[in-house]
Structure 1
Amino acid sequence: MQDRIWLTHYPKQVQPTYEYPKQHLAQFLLDSARKYPEKEALFFLGKTVKYKELLDATYRLANGLQSLGVKKGDRVAIMLPNCPQAVIAYYGALLTGAIVVQTNPLYTEREMEHQLNDSGSTFLITLDILGRRAGNVLGKTGIKHTIFTSIKDYLPFPKNLLYPLTLKKDGLTMKVDYSDTKHSFKELLSQSTSSPVLVEVDPEHDLALLQYTGGTTGVSKGVMLTHHNLIANTHQTKAWSYQTKEGEERYLAALPFFHVFGMTVLMNLAMLQAGMIVLLPKFDAEATLKVIQKKKPTVFPGAPTMYIALLHHPSLRQYDLSSINICISGAAPLPGEVQEQFEAITGGKLTEGYGLTETSPVTHANNIWDKRKLGSIGIPFPDTEAKVVQSDTGEELDVGEIGELIVKGPQVMKGYWNAEEETSRTLKDGWLYTGDMAQYDEDGFFYIMDRKKDIIIAGGFNIYPREVEEVLFEHPAVMDAVVAGIPDEYRGETVKAFIVLKDGAQMDEEELDRFCRERLAAFKVPRSYEVRESLPKTLIGKTLRRKVVEEEQNKQQNA
């Protein structure tokens, strides 16, 4: 595809190539705060933060972090839901020249411990209500300082007073024993100066982010993304959504910022565009409908499950969603009927894209206002090359042939953290081997056919079967197990475990479920379990996961 046939389907407003600024990633915030100091930057459960206030808090945190010893290249882990502190922590850490390590607040202690140790993180910013879980892990890691914040710190009156009562009802606690190594986010900001901080970086080589993903082995890997990677992808996304206007857009942040999709197409893009981010700490269909009606967001990136949940909400017709102009769907395949129904309800455009953690993340998208194709991930972004090849030889395949999708562009990662062998297998001559099986048509539109890595994508979250299987194998009653993604109308896929028990063993499904929940984040826990006498194997003893999936699909079709 050397002639890049997809370029004939670019809108006239989009160029095939751009010059991306060689700058610090946090410059997005600095520039927008300078140009629009009085504009609303964040809205959070009734509380508004202006750009000048956001910049002031970010400078204060950066100075506070430096006073605790944060230096350029240090890894600062952030374990927060979508809230003002998540934005402040992200850009505050970047201003010091530190490398951000985004950590999912849903992680279990075991998952936290691996990520903090593998990344070499020495600072952690998290919620007070996660203090107990963090406390059980920190002694096993290299974390020197932990900064605790509270959701109530950015709630308006009287919600800030009622919040502790809500926690008490849910059996949660905000109590933190502050010390020389455990600090209050609020106090750190109040005691620090708002003097400007901007540690110089080499954008093309210095890392801004270690974003963790999984792999075929189930071992979570740190993806090294430079300032330039993230800046380029943010500008590519801006170019693709060319009808958006600086200083005027409102971004609905239902996607978590600890997911690279939310980080780029919400947080970074909104800061570049001087938009307002409407923050949702978690996705809830009714709360989302209410905030859309109240704050009238114009841009709503999401996962298919979010759009499905809104469409199926019994009170949908009572809400006005007409403010929404653009929705970019990612993280899982978007059903065509969902796209059509959501566009009819909002009057806006819902388009499907594709990407990976390793690509910051977006590489492909359907046009928003021009030619689109249902079921396709669209065409490559500006400055992005894509081919379908034979995985083993790298030989390029022709129209309609199925092979591995490989991509090249300024958004492609530097490599995997402390994993040279894995990096060399994935990056070859600048091309990233995605592990996804794809084909393209005569117009240059690409289609994902299957996932070579067997990733399960449930509700927009990547789930790696091997990781779940390893937990199942730890159970004393389990002899053999395989985990697969089973079609699910709401989540896209859901996790099902197929188990062979040891001779004489009995399985209590509730007990096994509790066992998994203690060792896995909630979204990774199997939704159902099936006991079998045996599992299909190859001649060399490898479990045929696809065979199990096919059997399950046939069973569902015949039900």
Structure 2
Amino acid sequence: MTADKNRPAWEGHYPATARDLAPPEPRALTALLDDAAYSFPNRPCLTLEDWTLSYGEVALLASRLGAGLAQMGVMSGDRIGYMGPPHPAFTLGCFAMWHIGAVYVGLNPLYSVDRLAGQCIDSGLKAIITLDEPRLLAKAHQIRELTGQPVTFLVGSFKKDPREVIDPNQPFGPSNVWAISDLLAADASVERATFDPVTQPAVLQFTGGTTGTPKAAVLTHFNLLTNAAQMVSWYPQLEPGREVMLSAAPVTHAGGIGPVQNFTVQLAGELVSLPRFDPMKTLDLIEERKITILLMAPTMATALLEAARERPIDWSGVKCVQCGAGPVPAELKARFLQATGHWITTLYGMSETAPAVVYSPSDRALAEYTGVPLPFTEVEIRKVDDPHQRAAVGEVGEICLRGPQVMKGYWRNQDATSEGFIDGFFRSGDLGSMSKDGLVTVSDRLKDMIIAGGYNIYPADVESAILGHPAVREAAVIGVPDEYRGETAKAIVSLRGGEQLDLDELREFLSGRLSPMEIPTILSIVDEIPRNENMKISRLDLRELERLAPR
């Protein structure tokens, strides 16, 4: 590999489309939809079950919905939430908000009512977009009761074309609730808001739910527009107007806005929504809808492999498979390749970075690394005990990031913003290292590191080794108190059907793969490992279960 001495070493691992990417001009996110509707007006844009909206239709409906929001008193800078699963109403809502300069706030419907009410109060929500599914409507009303604020609801149909008439007041009665279908039928218009896309917030993305008090990252139009261009540049095989993305991961997570929605709209691709992830249904859609792009959490990829053993499909139409929202072990990549013929691209990022910062190269010999920084992105590894100092090549430290996709700060939280940056770089809170040619390895969360007898153990490394055992389906590792070491590693494992495993067998398997200090001294076999609302394995829940366990 050779690289221009005036350019970062990691650019030697770029595809040509990423290496040649020009910095995007500052524009509002509505430009993504404008461009796609102009070039591909009749191309499918949003699909749910048996109905589809074209790009021309979505551009018109988003404009009408924006006009309806304006008539309700929503102004530029006001915050509006979406609470629901992957669904066309999500994309219509986002572009309607951005049309009038309003700000999107993701409300994960799997969160508790108390947590969602706190997010609504913190962000000062003016309205919530949701669907006429009974549990969603009930939760929306509970949230409004808890906040004590006159939040307006905009309700769309869960199953029907959004233009079809519904009665959103059933079974609750009239209570400041509007049907999205009524706003779309009004055929109103409103002038598009004008603002500086470099500074205008587009999204408040709440973060920190697994590591501390949630806070909202402020992402601007330019943050998200740039990140869409960065991500698309990684895949030279993708063609505008020809791709189909399956939207099955939670859209209220940062991945729903960027790697799913904006990525697809930049390509004028079709977004096929699957409101509830089901491995078998996913396999059906890959064939029926000719899916070309998959984006999954590692747990979803594992479930898909299990389902594919029972229901083989033709994978030849898929062009790229991406995994984010957690570590992607090399063992999982190898199994996925063997079963499907597709190599997984690893995505690393976070809510504060819109979210993508590091992608894995296509070279399979580099599978042990997480990836390299995306175009226009700088990554430095800083010493844990002195974050003003850079770590040596290969030394584990805190991953710090700088680039046009990095947030400007946290919403109304200057203290958290100040703590989150150092020397102009965002502090990720993740541990990792960098090779001499810029390959990044993400080790673990700083807060998840186990210190056993003075030795640093990174749970992700241990989990990756455990996943190599043929009996293991999923694995998580946490630190638990130990009288001699201070802490020791405990493995929590779920097994493949019909398999068995005990601690002695696991320790023997890991001997030679891990150092003696890294090998777990405790093993717990479970049916399912707890996950959080974003489908990530939740070490927070595992540690809480450990704390409450009888001694």
Aligned-pair identity (%): 32
2:170 corresponds to which of 141, 162, 175? 175
> Deviation of residue 486 (structure 1)?
5.6
User: What TM-score does the superposition give when structure 2 sets the normalisation length?
Assistant: 0.79
> Deviation of residue 209 (structure 1)?
0.3
The whole-number CA distance in structure 2 between the counterparts of 1:532 and 1:105 is 29
2:151 corresponds to which of 137, 144, 152? 144
Aligned partner of 1:98 in structure 2 is 102
What secondary structure does 1:327 align onto?
A: strand
- Is residue 379 from structure 1 mapped to residue 383 from structure 2 by the alignment? no
Aligned partner of 2:392 in structure 1 is 398
1:336 corresponds to which of 330, 337, 343? 330
2:377 and 2:403 in contact (8 A); partners too: yes
> Deviation of residue 109 (structure 1)?
0.9
- Is residue 238 from structure 1 mapped to residue 232 from structure 2 by the alignment? yes
Aligned partner of 1:12 in structure 2 is 16
The within-5 A match list for 1:89-128 is 89-128=93-132
Aligned partner of 2:499 in structure 1 is none
Structure 2 counterpart of 1:57, which letter?
A: L
What secondary structure does 2:293 align onto?
A: coil
Q: Deviations over 1:288-327 (max 9, x none)?
A: 0001110111111111111111111165453222211101
Q: Give the 3 Å change call, closer, same or farther, for CA 488–89 of structure 1 in structure 2.
A: farther
Q: Give the 3 Å change call, closer, same or farther, for CA 85–20 of structure 1 in structure 2.
A: same
Q: How many equivalent residue pairs?
A: 473
Q: Give the 3 Å change call, closer, same or farther, for CA 415–234 of structure 1 in structure 2.
A: same
The whole-number CA distance in structure 1 between the counterparts of 2:535 and 2:490 is 15
The whole-number CA distance in structure 2 between the counterparts of 1:99 and 1:372 is 42
1:289 and 1:316 in contact (8 A); partners too: no
Q: Give the 3 Å change call, closer, same or farther, for CA 310–174 of structure 1 in structure 2.
A: farther
The within-5 A match list for 1:239-388 is 239-313=233-307, 315-368=309-362, 370=363, 373-388=366-381
Q: Deviations over 1:487-543 (max 9, x none)?
A: 54589xxxxxxxxxxxxxxxxxxxxxxxx99x9999879479455577xxxxxxxxx
The whole-number CA distance in structure 1 between the counterparts of 2:194 and 2:353 is 24
- Is residue 23 from structure 1 mapped to residue 27 from structure 2 by the alignment? yes
> Deviation of residue 343 (structure 1)?
2.5
The whole-number CA distance in structure 1 between the counterparts of 2:52 and 2:376 is 37
> Deviation of residue 8 (structure 1)?
2.2
> Deviation of residue 333 (structure 1)?
1.0
The whole-number CA distance in structure 1 between the counterparts of 2:443 and 2:24 is 32
> Deviation of residue 143 (structure 1)?
4.3
Q: Give the 3 Å change call, closer, same or farther, for CA 238–314 of structure 1 in structure 2.
A: closer
Bigger mean CA deviation after superposition, 372-381 or 213-222: 213-222
Q: Deviations over 1:433-468 (max 9, x none)?
A: 11111012233211111211339999xxxx9x9xxx
1:48 corresponds to which of 48, 52, 55? 52
User: What TM-score does the superposition give when structure 1 sets the normalisation length?
Assistant: 0.78
What secondary structure does 1:423 align onto?
A: helix
Structure 2 counterpart of 1:213, which letter?
A: T
What secondary structure does 1:386 align onto?
A: strand
> Deviation of residue 400 (structure 1)?
1.4
2:432 and 2:443 in contact (8 A); partners too: yes
Aligned partner of 2:455 in structure 1 is none
2:184 corresponds to which of 181, 189, 194? 189
> Deviation of residue 279 (structure 1)?
0.9
2:297 and 2:323 in contact (8 A); partners too: yes
1:324 and 1:346 in contact (8 A); partners too: no
- Is residue 417 from structure 1 mapped to residue 424 from structure 2 by the alignment? no
What secondary structure does 1:453 align onto?
A: helix
1:41 and 1:50 in contact (8 A); partners too: yes
- Is residue 69 from structure 1 mapped to residue 64 from structure 2 by the alignment? no
> Deviation of residue 255 (structure 1)?
1.8
1:224 corresponds to which of 218, 222, 226? 218
The whole-number CA distance in structure 2 between the counterparts of 1:16 and 1:394 is 32
2:21 and 2:233 in contact (8 A); partners too: no
Structure 2 spans left out of the alignment, 5+ residues: 450-458, 464-475, 479-486, 497-529
Q: Deviations over 1:266-298 (max 9, x none)?
A: 100111110011111121101100011101111
1:135 corresponds to which of 131, 136, 141? 141
Structure 1 counterpart of 2:141, which letter?
A: G
The whole-number CA distance in structure 2 between the counterparts of 1:203 and 1:135 is 34
1:58 and 1:91 in contact (8 A); partners too: yes
1:389 and 1:397 in contact (8 A); partners too: yes
1:107 and 1:521 in contact (8 A); partners too: no
Q: Give the 3 Å change call, closer, same or farther, for CA 268–393 of structure 1 in structure 2.
A: closer
> Deviation of residue 156 (structure 1)?
12
Structure 2 counterpart of 1:91, which letter?
A: F
Question: For the aligned residues, what is the CA RMSD?
Answer: 3.4
2:156 and 2:162 in contact (8 A); partners too: no
Structure 2 counterpart of 1:133, which letter?
A: K
Q: Give the 3 Å change call, closer, same or farther, for CA 98–156 of structure 1 in structure 2.
A: closer
What secondary structure does 2:160 align onto?
A: helix
Structure 2 counterpart of 1:59, which letter?
A: S
Q: Give the 3 Å change call, closer, same or farther, for CA 19–520 of structure 1 in structure 2.
A: closer
Q: Give the 3 Å change call, closer, same or farther, for CA 522–279 of structure 1 in structure 2.
A: closer
The whole-number CA distance in structure 2 between the counterparts of 1:9 and 1:454 is 30
